[in-house]
Amino acid sequence: MGYEVLAPQGQFFGKVFAFPARVYYEDTDAGGVVFYANYLRFAERARTEFIRALGVNQHEALQAEEMCGFMVRGINIEYKAPAILDDLLSITCEVMNLSGARLEMKQEIYCHDKLLVSMTVQLAYVSLNKKRPIRIPEALVKKIESLA
């Protein structure tokens, strides 16, 4: 017998999207703090939910004739303080720049009011069939621009 439960979801606060996550044992290293690479996983989940909250079905985009989606092109990350087991985190996403096939996003990870991690992520919208960047669809651009 299955149980229907709700998946974690974030919400918009103006143009900033915030997504909740809990730190589990599997997220930590031998010192009991979140392993540095796992912050990238938290950020990826938040970006995925950001797109979902805009009403975009990423699965459909991947199944379409012109398979496409966002790929990380570059990232600059600064670790300010560690998260530990059972911390409740808030991961934010804020679009800083949008043009052509490029999207630049600021992401921050907080535990309560304490900033733990700050990053700038450069994304490219890519045709997976052609293995090259393509323009972000106008419908998605309009949804993102409507946040401002």
123 Cβ contact partners less than 8 Å away, ≥ 6 residues apart:
47, 70, 71, 72, 73, 102, 103, 104, 105
Sign, CA dihedral 142-93-105-60, equals negative
Known active-site residue 29: yes
d(CA 148, CA 141): 12
Catalytic residue among 29, 86, 87, 113: 29
Q: Are 69 and 48 in contact (CB under 8 A)?
A: no
DSSP of 21-79, one letter per residue? EE--GGGB-TTSBB-TTHHHHHHHHHHHHHHHHTT--HHHHHHSSS-EEEEEEEEEEEE
Positions annotated as catalytic residues are 29
